[in-house]
Structure 1
Amino acid sequence: MAEGSKAWGGRFASGTDRRVERFTESISFDQRLFRQDIRGSVAHAQMLAQVGILTNDECRQIVLGLSEIRAQIESGEFPFQLEREDVHMNIEAALVDRLGDVGRKLHTARSRNDQVATDLKLWTRDALDRIDERLADLQRAFVKAGERHRGVIIPGYTHLQRAQPVLAAHDFLAHVEKLGRDRSRLADCRKRLNVLPLGAAALAGTSLPIDREAVARELEFEAVAANSLDVSSDRDFALESVFVLAMIAEHLAGWAEQWILWSTQEFGFLSLPDAICTGSSIMPQKKNPDVLELIRGRVARVIGSLTTLLVLVKGLPLAYNRDLQEDKEPLFDAFDTVEACLELAAVVVDGASLRGDRIADRLEEGFLDATTLMEHLIERGVPQRTAHAVIGRLVGLCDRKGISRLADLTDAEFAEADPALGPGTRERLGVANAVKAFRSYGSTAPAEVDRQLDRWKESLGL
């Protein structure tokens, strides 16, 4: 950059080609790091004063100048300049414009390499915390939906074929569990991220008597990076963060697909709020679940960001390489995309309702009680494989007779299939009886679901 080559890089005899300035600039997207950059610079200046490299008055001037620059940026009045390349140089140059040589002292004992890594970690840490809050909000929405639909039984599916009956709350809690694992991954990622890069300088550290631990305390990092050569090339935290975001997006896409199906006329299980649906430009009857479809679709963007980052760092040698400038846009986009999806997902869950009457109309179809009846035989001493075959033959008999429920078979037909299917058999038939029969931990047994709802309500502060 022309400004940079003259103001910061005495090695160069001429300014930078304007085409190179346009090609290498990052201010168009990294200016969103301004708060983190200023926070890191304030902590750095305070440390320099503590160790005697800056005077207290110089530190005061720098901190005040940075505060004024922050206010100017927040008000939209700061003149970001392309020739100053990035947010870090724009802020530092503005400080020098204000303070002259005092401003030039700020960059003592640091490089843009460790400065960028610190800013990006601070930004990512804040973003991880926001995502965690959004995940908790969505968990609360699912738990509330479970409360609203207590006692509602729905078909559970495998291979998109009716399998066994489950409580609707049990289904909602399955999503809560997935989101809980996402939050756990976020916490693990945050812990590994929370190591201070600043003080590594360009790659080898510095000969000046800095206090990195003091900076770490001020910026709320839990540790200080132990190897200066590793610092400026490390983007593990960015890759890991976006991997976690990709997992969240995958979970959201799976849920969105399920609810898109449930909202169709063919299923008729779910009523979606008008506020999150759109109509058709030609078909007046249409109510399209556009928000759910876009949530399902935007997983592609997040996976794309992850792929970009994985390829970006492939084969890079140690220390900083300019390739790493390309890490920010996919990182920012992944966070922006997932945060927006989570916000709308909570709105959908809060506003949706199950159509209990429509579900009940066909609930007894599909032999959802077949497995429970098989387990009734097992309890009477019949081997599992034998019991499986017996109930399978009874389902086949229903098919041949053109009936859709095991309960429509006669007592004689049950007894003929296996003598163990005698008195008490009909107490296991029907969806409601099948649900009542469950008893294992984590199952859809009503008492288990109630216990899990209560556990999550306490955990989420509901």
Structure 2
Amino acid sequence: MSSNLWGGRFSGGPSDALAALSRSTHFDWRLARYDIAGSRAHARALHRAGLLTADELARMLAGLDTLDADTVSGAFVAADHDEDVHSSLERGLIDRVGPDLGGKLRAGRSRNDQIATLLRLWWRDTARRVTSGVLDVADALLAQAARHPCAAMPGRTHLQHAQPVLLAHHLGAHAQALIRDVDRLRDCDRRAAISPYGSGALAGSSLGLDPEVVAADLGFSGSVANSIDGTASRDIAAEAAFVLAMIGVDLSRLAEEVIIWATVEFGYVSLDDAFSTGSSIMPQKKNPDIAELARGKAGRLIGNLTGLLATLKAQPLAYNRDLQEDKEPLFDSADQLELVLPAMAGMVHTLVFDTERLASLAPEGFTLATDVAEWLVRAGVPFRSAHEAAGASVRMAEARGVGLAELTDA
């Protein structure tokens, strides 16, 4: 028996080339347990609508439980001829409960509303794990800040010395960006918490199924208001890809500073041996590979977002097969962050700061010039004049090869 969920109007099966192009189990299999959860909720909806007897529902749910356990254990996997996760699991269910009962489950639903729902279920779980990882990095930053509450360092703009700041304040700036990322994840979840289940291919069904009950069964806050939008939209995927890319960018900015700080020229930090690597030819090297990989993967996440947006930009309503391409970039972005986040948290937590060097460099580059100008302002000098006077002092100190503190009238 073919596992295809279509074919009655065709005189033959798909060509090998079409089957190979169409197959998606190599990436959508990670949605298998969400698919089974959706099938349980759908079976209960069929029962409430009078389309499954109590006995049929019980046998259907038992079959789905067995299929779930076999999927987890690896006893059941997608076959080479399965088109996608949905067709594979329907084949598995029919193997366990028979075609007469197993064949009833497809009533009132389409792969279109299924996959839109499964993607949201996957994203909501994934976002929780990513949130935890982001908070771990923020916690590591704040722990370092707490260990160095009074350590001064040179603050920079344009990578030039600007004003002295506290190391704790600088690290806190990176933590604030990550905390906003957590806010974005939570806000994104508010929109992802709406279930497309019950939208069918695009126009629902005539079987009297209650999408609100199915939504509640799956942990959603409600069902979509428009079935066409429910199956055809992927702004949730695009938004998720953006949030993941933004996290990547924020990690990359932190990583860039660690890379610079660990150079001999800066000498701000030392990397822990467990979170750095060496060279195959240069014995002295201690490389910030975690930071470099985080910086590199940020570009990958940006590319995933850009590619997904390009895929979505010109699709007419409703569902189009182009939407099969929404999952791999999103899955990849999440996978990469789940690798990067614990490594970054460990690296940051174990950084050793040279606070004496930081303090010695804090006043370098005439970073106290703004303080001089503001001292004059407190004495009643207009800021425009105070700025000019402080700038002239810097020019004179620079010409004499001294710092502002060593500048005299002589």
Q: TM-score, normalised by structure 2?
A: 0.97
Q: Which has the higher contact order (CA 8 A, sep 6+)?
A: 2
Encode CA deviations 1:163-201: one digit per residue, 9 max, x unaligned: 101111101110111011111111121111111100010
Question: Where does residue 316 of structure 1 map in the other structure?
Answer: 315
Equivalent residue runs for 1:286-365 within 5 Å? 286-365=285-364
For 1:8 and 1:237, how far apart are their aligned partners in 2?
28
In the alignment, the residues of structure 2 paired with residue 340 and residue 253 of structure 1 have an alpha-carbon distance, to the nearest angstrom, of 14
Tell whether 2:214 aligns with 1:218: no
Alpha-carbon shift at residue 55 of structure 1 (Å): 1.1
Displacement of 1:8 in angstroms is: 4.2
Question: Is the CA contact 1:3–1:15 (under 8 Å) kept in the aligned structure 2?
Answer: no
**Does residue 51 of the first structure (1) align with residue 49 of the second (2)?**
yes
Tell me, which stretches of 5 or more residues in structure 1 are unaligned? 414-462
Aligned counterparts, 1:140-289, within 5 A: 140-289=139-288
Map of 1:135 onto structure 2: 134
Q: Is the 8 A contact 2:108 2:205 kept in 1?
A: yes
Tell me, yes or no, if the aligned pair for 1:276 and 1:291 is still in contact at 8 Å: yes
2 CA distance for matches of 1:8 and 1:263? 59
Distance 2:325 2:12 in 1: 26
Provide the rounded CA distance (Å) in 2 between the counterparts of 1:281 and 1:243: 37
Q: Say whether residues 1:91 and 2:89 are aligned partners.
A: yes
Task: Identify which range, 198-207 or 356-365, moves more after superposition.
Answer: 356-365
% identical aligned pairs: 48
Distance 2:207 2:118 in 1: 22
Residue by residue over 1:272-313, the C-alpha shift from the partner in whole angstroms, topping out at 9 and shown as x without a partner, is: 111121111111111111110010011111011101111111
TM-score normalised to structure 1 length: 0.86
Cα RMSD between the aligned structures? Answer: 1.3
Which amino acid letter does the alignment assign opposite residue 40 of structure 1?
Answer: G
SS at match of 1:82: coil
3-state SS of 1:157 partner: strand
Of 80, 104, 108, the match for 2:78: 80
How many Å apart are 1:362 and its aligned residue?
3.1
**For each residue in 1:397-452, what CA deviation from the matched residue of structure 2 results, as whole angstroms up to 9, or x when unmatched?**
1111111x211123x46xxxxxxxxxxxxxxxxxxxxxxxxxxxxxxxxxxxxxxx
State the alpha-carbon separation in 2 of the partners of residues 368 and 173 from structure 1.
Answer: 21
Instruction: Tell which deviates more after alignment, 358-367 or 96-105.
Output: 358-367
- Count, aligned residues: 409
1:155–1:164 Cα contact (<8 Å) kept: yes
* Mapped contact 1:197–1:225 kept (Cα < 8 A): yes
Does the 8 A contact of 1:21 with 1:82 survive in 2?
Answer: no
2:161–2:367 CA contact under 8 A, matched in 1: yes
What's the CA shift for 1:258? 0.8
User: Conserved in 1, the CA contact under 8 Å of 2:49 and 2:207?
Assistant: no
Check whether the contact 1:231–1:319 (CA below 8 A) recurs between aligned residues: no
**CA 1:402–1:391 in structure 2 vs 1: closer, same or farther (change >3 Å)?**
same
The amino acid across from 1:371 in the alignment is: T
Q: Tell me the alpha carbon deviations over residues 13-57 of structure 1, each in whole angstroms, 9 at most, x when there is no partner.
A: 212222221111000110000111111111111122122211121
Q: Secondary structure at the match of 1:83?
A: coil
- Matched residue SS, 2:364: coil
Aligned with residue 35 of structure 1, among 21, 33, 36 = 33
Instruction: Map residues 18-29 of structure 1 onto 2, 5 A cutoff.
Output: 18-29=16-27
Kept after mapping to 1: 8 A contact 2:151/2:166? yes
* 2: CA distance, partners of 1:384 / 1:341: 46
CA contact (8 A) 2:76 2:92 kept: no
SS in structure 2 of the partner of residue 163 of structure 1: strand
Give the Cα–Cα distance (whole angstroms) in 1 for the partners of residues 57 and 101 of structure 2.
9
Distance between the aligned counterparts of 2:222 and 2:381, measured in 1?
A: 61
Runs of 4+ more than 6 Å apart: none
2:391 maps to 392
Residue type of the partner of 2:406? D
Q: Name the SS for the 2:281 alignment partner.
A: coil
Q: How far has the Cα of 1:4 moved from its partner?
A: 4.0
SS at match of 2:2: helix
